[in-house]
């Protein structure tokens, strides 16, 4: 969050959290609904109420965003004040008595809802957020059964479906500004803004352009925080159903780690329950011919990306080369597009390795088709992802090295949940099924890709063992590199390579020895969310700490993929933590924890990409180039 844009109450609270001594020492006695409490100066009424289990309705407020105090649905009464106050932005700086319910409060909240609904076009049953809409829930809570100020049913504003990833339906907008704050403060991209004033106010893109014509990185964080159906992913479920019902098509799907840790929330489970094997059963029930694990291609990514890093290090340390360092990860399409737009001069730092989704698509339409004697034109590849940006990535012109579009359709976690519900599946109670061969064998390294720091941890596990010949467990207990885990904005770590081992067969085409790495301290960093990515890039530009790094993991979304724009709504810090625990739980149970030990990956190199990692075949199918998009005005 950008502190300069925070409200006064938010700045006071931030000062308290940062241990400002004057603020920390100030404790204030208050009374809320007759209950006495002592709170820190700067605490908001809403925070106190929630700590007491008192429910105050909110619409513009979100735990991830700076306070706005716009919607006014959270109004409460502060005794002695003439007007009702917004509890989300009221900073407690003196002794007060608060009432959170009274006839005056209930009447005010109901009128606010009535006025919102008077501008809210359409009926709930035809909305994509039916059953999971904060406005709809409040209308039910307050017993709204008619519209005293009227209710329009005819479309007023056209729906913008121009983006590959995100749909805007401004007839459903309630002007809460969550999308604006998500894009400006949380991600520092700035697609949305507010135009006009009063009853003419509306949320706009730059120049009122369509989504495809503005600098949008397709991350979907605006979608995850929109309380209504004003923003949602571009639904591709009908196209997938059509493919499944076509007897001439062979439909395969790959499932990423993060959806497994989140999809249970769509079926009433608490966050943090992994349903990996139940999803497999559900997908077979829906008619998919094969169900594969994206963790296979995540392991493949680590091999290709790791080799690329070692080659950059060799050229710079041994051959006085000028290879771009630090090397940046490239598996987050939102992050890649962010760099292409805002810092294209650093494109050379991006790993050329495709994301696991796109690597898998290339392998399906070549190796898999060849092995099973299937014409690739008859194969439909679907990817289950936590990410709306993956839809854009699948449609990139570069992603057709197999001779066909590598990935035909990208489904978000929410879309797959919808498909399961359409066929009447109770996902949590389905029997468990294994992934299909030959891409069913996975490693724990592939699984943890779903959490921020997971790519870095996976890379270190493999690179360290290949270079030193020692197991990573000799340095980190159970092979868990906790220094790169967690939800801090930016993490930094160092690992000194004291000894080197023999070059393994896998890497002999490129290295005679690893002596050039002996005594080198590998410096790495991890950041999630593009606002944090901006800080890292600015630090590199200024010659700061991160300019000395060798490898940096970037993820566009807060928390990494498990906080992706296609994950179940709602999301917040606690939910993302629970999903991370599910992902690390799967890693803990896995028998293979290093990418280079994945038997399916080894078999692929032995039988198909015979010139090994980084070879001609691998470069053709598993690597790509990027575009300097910049910020041109059109």
- Report the candidate in 184, 275, 271 with the shortest Cα–Cα distance to residue 222: 184
In angstroms, the Cα distances linking 166 to 223, 374, 549 are 8, 34, 35
In angstroms, the Cα distances linking 517 to 256, 464, 500, 552, 614 are 34, 11, 7, 18, 20
Residue of 89, 274, 351, 458 marked active site: 351
In angstroms, the Cα distances linking 401 to 196, 359, 375 are 47, 10, 16
Residue of 77, 304, 305, 457 marked active site: 305
- Report the candidate in 461, 491, 447, 472 with the shortest Cα–Cα distance to residue 581: 447
How crowded is residue 179: how many other Cβ atoms within 10 Å of its Cβ? 23
390 part of the active site: yes
Residue of 265, 561, 593, 594 marked active site: 561
For helices 413-422 and 276-286, the axis angle rounded to 10 degrees is: 50
**Alpha-carbon gap, residue 415 to 215, rounded angstroms:** 25
Residue of 66, 88, 219, 331 marked active site: 331
304 part of the active site: no
How crowded is residue 369: how many other Cβ atoms within 10 Å of its Cβ? 19
Who's near 263: CB < 8 A, 6+ residues apart? 275, 279, 413, 416, 417, 427, 568
188 part of the active site: no
**Alpha-carbon gap, residue 349 to 537, rounded angstroms:** 11
Residue of 273, 390, 593, 594 marked active site: 390
- Report the candidate in 586, 590, 605, 591 with the shortest Cα–Cα distance to residue 509: 605
Spatial contact of 158 and 226, defined as CB atoms under 8 Å apart: no
- Report the candidate in 166, 210, 164, 539 with the shortest Cα–Cα distance to residue 343: 539
Spatial contact of 585 and 280, defined as CB atoms under 8 Å apart: no
Residue of 308, 415, 457, 586 marked active site: 308
- Greatest distance between any 2 Cα atoms in the chain: 81
499 part of the active site: no
Spatial contact of 234 and 169, defined as CB atoms under 8 Å apart: no
Is beta strand 290-293 parallel, antiparallel or unpaired with respect to 409-412?
Answer: unpaired
**Alpha-carbon gap, residue 466 to 459, rounded angstroms:** 11
Sign of CA dihedral 506, 507, 509, 513: negative
274 part of the active site: no
**Alpha-carbon gap, residue 543 to 296, rounded angstroms:** 37
308 part of the active site: yes
Question: What number of residues does the chain have?
Answer: 634
305 part of the active site: yes
Catalytic residue positions, numbered: 305, 308, 331, 351, 390, 393, 398, 561
């Amino acid at each position: 969050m950008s502190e300069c844009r925070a409200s006064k109450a938010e700045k006071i609270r931030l000062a308290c959290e940062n241990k400002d001594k004057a603020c920390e020492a100030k404790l204030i006695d208050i009374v809320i609904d007759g209950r006495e409490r002592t709170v820190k100066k700067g605490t908001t009424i809403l925070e106190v109420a929630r700590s007491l289990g008192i429910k105050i309705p909110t619409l513009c407020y979100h735990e991830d965003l700076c306070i706005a105090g716009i919607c006014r649905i959270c109004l409460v009464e502060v005794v002695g004040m003439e007007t009702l106050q917004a509890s989300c932005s009221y900073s407690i700086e003196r002794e007060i008595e608060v009432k959170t319910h009274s006839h005056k409060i209930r009447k005010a909240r109901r009128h606010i809802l009535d006025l919102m609904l008077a501008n809210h076009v359409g009926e709930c049953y035809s909305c994509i957020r039916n059953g999971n809409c904060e406005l709809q829930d409040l209308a039910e809570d307050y017993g709204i059964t008619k519209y005293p100020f009227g209710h329009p049913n005819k479309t007023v504003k056209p729906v913008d479906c121009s983006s590959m990833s995100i749909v805007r339906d401004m007839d459903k907008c309630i002007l809460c500004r969550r999308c604006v704050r998500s894009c400006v403060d949380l991600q520092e991209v700035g697609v949305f803004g507010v135009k006009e004033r009063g009853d003419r106010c509306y949320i706009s893109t730059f120049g009122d352009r369509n989504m495809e014509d503005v600098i949008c990185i397709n991350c979907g964080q605006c979608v995850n925080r929109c309380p209504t159906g004003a923003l949602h992913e571009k639904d591709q479920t009908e196209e997938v159903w059509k493919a499944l019902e076509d007897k001439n098509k062979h439909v395969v799907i790959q499932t990423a780690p993060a959806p497994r840790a989140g999809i249970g929330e769509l079926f009433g489970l608490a966050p943090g329950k992994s349903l990996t094997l139940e999803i497999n059963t559900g997908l077979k029930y829906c008619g998919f011919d094969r169900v594969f694990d994206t963790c296979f291609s995540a392991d493949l990514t680590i091999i290709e990306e790791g080799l690329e890093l070692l080659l950059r290090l060799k050229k710079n340390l041994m051959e006085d080369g000028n290879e771009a360092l630090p090397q940046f990860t490239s598996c987050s399409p939102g992050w890649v597009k962010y760099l292409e737009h805002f810092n294209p001069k650093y494109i050379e730092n991006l790993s050329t390795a495709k994301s696991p989704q796109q690597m898998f698509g290339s392998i399906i339409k070549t190796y898999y088709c060849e092995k099973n004697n299937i014409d690739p034109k008859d194969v439909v590849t679907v990817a289950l992802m936590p990410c709306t940006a993956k839809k854009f990535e699948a449609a990139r012109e570069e992603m057709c090295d197999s001779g066909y579009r590598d990935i035909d359709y990208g489904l978000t976690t929410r879309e797959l949940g919808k498909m399961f519900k359409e066929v009447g599946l109770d996902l949590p109670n389905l029997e468990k099924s294994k992934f299909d061969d030959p891409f069913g064998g996975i490693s724990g390294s592939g699984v943890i890709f779903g959490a921020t720091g997971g790519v870095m941890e996976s890379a270190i596990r493999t690179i360290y063992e290949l270079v030193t010949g020692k197991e990573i467990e000799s340095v980190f207990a159970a092979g868990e590199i906790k220094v790169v885990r967690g939800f801090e904005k930016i993490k930094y770590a160092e690992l000194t390579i004291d000894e080197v081992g023999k070059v393994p067969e896998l890497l002999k085409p490129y290295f005679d020895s690893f002596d050039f790495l002996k005594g080198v301290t590998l410096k790495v960093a991890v950041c999630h969310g593009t606002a944090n990515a901006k800080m890292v890039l600015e630090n590199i530009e200024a010659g700061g700490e991160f300019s000395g790094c060798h490898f940096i993991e970037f993820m566009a979304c807060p928390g990494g993929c498990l906080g992706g724009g296609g994950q179940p709504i709602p999301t917040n810090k606690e939910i993302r933590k629970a999903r991370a625990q599910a992902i690390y739980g799967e890693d803990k149970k896995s028998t293979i924890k290093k990418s280079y030990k994945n038997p399916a990956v080894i078999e692929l190199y032995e039988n198909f990409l015979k010139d090994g990692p980084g070879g001609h075949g691998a470069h053709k199918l598993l690597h790509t180039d990027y575009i300097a998009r910049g910020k041109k005005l059109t």
